[in-house]
Amino acid sequence: MQIQVAQRLQHTEEYYFSRKLREIEALNQTGEKVINLGIGSPDLPPHPAVVETLCTYATQPDTHAYQNYKGILPLRQAIADWYSNWYGVSLDPNAHVLPLIGSKEGIVHVCMTYLQEGDEALFPNPGYPAYAAAVRLSGATGVPYTLEEKQGWLPNLGELAKRDLSRVKIMWLNYPHMPTGAPATAAFFDEVVAFAKEHHILLCHDNPYSFILNEHPQSLLATEGAMDVAIELNSLSKSSNMAGWRVGMLVGAEARIQEIIRFKSNMDSGMFLPVQMAAAKALSLGRDWYDELNTNYRNRREKVYRLLDALECTYSRQQVGLFVWAKIPVSHSDGYALSDVILQQSRVFITPGGIFGDGGNNYIRVSLCATPEALDEAYDRIIRAQVKAVNHL
């Protein structure tokens, strides 16, 4: 019996990494195991005190029931304190904070709350594919805006203003930007808030990378007037090495929180209480935690630079975040071609930039979520493959 999927899925493909992991697994069965430098899943553990908190509360007999849809107050207070301490943003934990089961679910919640057929939403190209997918699932029309290296991977708001924006309800932003690693400037945040006010657009800022290799974490909500036109998603996946724990947050004006919870409360329940308590502990960690985290990533990034030099790629050393974004040499047609060559010849997987939109076709992205030993081995494999190719000429 054949059952046709809903129309909303007709043009929504399986997530690229879901397909690629199956291909990598098949290669692993045929010989040398693939070194995966594609996915940004931190391999380092959370702080021991975070794990201890989880275990302590998980052993208590009264912590296993359903939880409030808005999360427990200790977690909301911890989020508010975190925003105050690190971003200089004042939040009321009872009005401005909504814990999420990972910020990725928040992307869907936002789109399903505000968008419907006939609406439009702006999203970056290159950019995180989940933005376009969530817009499509909502029934709205996604409108990509091009980001270019020559403009620091920031949108050209002047060019955007020339188009018909009458049906645009939301604009997705993500700085520090993934995949390019570009940071935003305070001046740009001022400009985009003014742009949103002028065109009556809700800014949706996705901010999970602000602590990674970045000395000065920024929040869009620290910009004057931003609370009137913006909401922000954040996450503990990268900053606290808690990707599998699925802890995120949405912060914004009370009206926005109340609107989004109308959808969210029909889709899930509150997260496990011991996880919430552990998340609150993670949010209370001081600068020593982030300094240690970034010392590890700084060392790994130098090894990735060496690997990219071997591939004759070019890159900016000013980028931040959990990846290194690099332009491919002219000897390859696009990032897909280079990625495939490396995978087949060296058994190393590097993400092609084209999966983030055609604006990334001439780029690749390398994750820092691999041990120094794995990065050294990846470099050695690539060099051996290059030597072998030269000897066959």
For residue 19, the model assigns a pLDDT of: 75
Is 165 a residue whose pLDDT tops 70? yes
pLDDT digits (tens, 9 = 90+) for 2-52: 787 777 776 666 666 677 778 788 878 887 899 999 988 999 999 999 999
Residue 259 has pLDDT above 90, yes or no: yes
Other residues' Cβ atoms within 10 Å of the Cβ of residue 81: 15
Domain limits, CATH 3.40.640.10, in the chain: 48-284
Upper half-sphere CA count for residue 307 (Cβ side, 13 Å): 30
Closest-CA residue to 125 (of 142, 102, 150, 107) = 142
- What dotted CATH number matches 7-45+288-391? 3.90.1150.10
Where are the extended beta strands (E) located within 12-126? 35-36, 97-100, 120-125
- Mean pLDDT for 321-348 is 95
Q: What residue type is 208 in one-letter code?
A: P
Note the pLDDT tens digit of each residue in 53-93: 999 999 999 999 989 889 999 999 999 999 999 999 999 99
pLDDT digits (tens, 9 = 90+) for 222-243: 999 999 999 999 999 999 999 9
Q: State pTM to two decimals.
A: 0.93
pLDDT for the residue numbered 14: 61
CA angle 126, 300, 312 (to 5 degrees): 60
Q: Which CATH number fits domain 48-284: 3.40.640.10, 3.40.50.1110, 3.40.50.300, 3.40.50.170?
A: 3.40.640.10
Amino acid making up residue 145 = Y
- Residues of the chain within CATH 3.90.1150.10 domain(s) are 7-45+288-391
Is residue 115 within 8 A of residue 131, CB to CB? The reply is: no
The whole-number average pLDDT for the span 333-352 is 94
The Cα 358–Cα 280 span in angstroms is 39
Between 105 and 10, the more confident residue is 105
DSSP codes joined into one string, 109-159: HHHHHH--TT-EEEEEES--HHHHHHHHHHT-EEEEEE--GGGTT---HHH
Helix (H, G, I), strand (E, B) or coil at 200: coil
Cβ within 8 Å of residue 309, ≥6 positions away: none
Tokens of 123: 């999203």
Distances (CA, A) of 46 to 239, 250, 278, 293, 350: 9, 21, 10, 10, 25
The pLDDT score that the predictor gives to residue 150 is 94
Q: Is residue 281 over pLDDT 80? A: yes
Contact 133, 12 (CB under 8 A): yes
Say what the pLDDT of residue 21 is: 75
Of 303, 354, 301, the C-alpha closest to 327 is 354
